[in-house]
Amino acid sequence: GEDVEQSLFLSVREGDSSVINCTYTDSSSTYLYWYKQEPGAGLQLLTYIFSNMDMKQDQRLTVLLNKKDKHLSLRIADTQTGDSAIYFCAAALGTTDSWGKLQFGAGTQVVVTP
Amino acid sequence: DADVTQTPRNRITKTGKRIMLECSQTKGHDRMYWYRQDPGLGLRLIYYSFDVKDINKGEISDGYSVSRQAQAKFSLSLESAIPNQTALYFCATSQTLWYGYTFGSGTRLTVV
């Protein structure tokens, strides 16, 4: 089955860029997502990228996809204290019997320091 | 009102008790999911349902059961709660892959 891996912790200074990395194993994954979880809340979809794209930009967020290496990254420009949260990478499984299911990574805790 | 509502938000229960977590949605989505979140393990799929008559086990379904009472309602039951079922439980819905999942705010369950 699909495995999604990401580092567990990232510390960044306010105003710097953050880069969160993720790797996945299923080459048939069709959509890849980044979710944000703030304390006491559910997961909120930040952005997604389709597997035939290399890059997607949305305001301060840039997603890069290296399909050959099965590597996904999320860059947050000008990181703010409000960006402190857990960020989850997720992959939509591509096989017929698993269509519509997402496999999540363990989450990266991002701490923004003043 | 929230698109995906989970009740209760917090629950403490004793070992051996039966407990039901409820999820309702106003999104009109056909697909509903139950995940549990444990620190360092991310989200793991317990059960999922692609429509009212279609219910499937996820990767960690042992000790859990579900009921899809209507398109909008999907309940998760712990038949006999045990302490290692202490976790944060999320319900989610989806309709297409373009928009991923919509999550509820979660139920924090503690089994003592």
Q: Please answer yes or no on whether A43 and B42 come within 8 Å at the CB atom.
A: no
User: CA–CA separation, B64 vs B77, rounded Å?
Assistant: 6
Kindly provide the b/e burial profile for residues A33-61, where b requires at least 16 CB atoms within 10 angstroms of the residue's own CB: bbbbbeeeebbebbbbbeeeeeeeeeeee
Judging contacts by C-beta atoms under 8 Å, the chain A residues touching residue B40 are 8, 106
pLDDT in tens, A42-97: 899 999 998 888 999 999 999 999 999 999 999 999 999 999 999 999 998 765 55
Averaged pLDDT for residues B1-25: 95
Phi, psi of B98 (to 5 degrees): -55, -35
Quick one: pLDDT band at residue B99, thresholds 50, 70, 90?
confident
User: CA–CA separation, A50 vs B41, rounded Å?
Assistant: 25
Judging contacts by C-beta atoms under 8 Å, the chain B residues touching residue A105 are 42
For chain B, the average pLDDT equals 93
Q: Please answer yes or no on whether A30 and B48 come within 8 Å at the CB atom.
A: no
Do residues B50 and B61 lie in contact, with contact meaning Cβ atoms separated by under 8 Å? Answer: no
Sheet of A71-76, strand order: A4-6, A18-24, A71-76, A61-66, A55-58
Question: Chain A within 8 Å of B23 (Cβ-Cβ)?
Answer: no
Cα angle B94, B100, B105 (rounded to 5 degrees) comes to: 75
Question: Chain A within 8 Å of B41 (Cβ-Cβ)?
Answer: yes
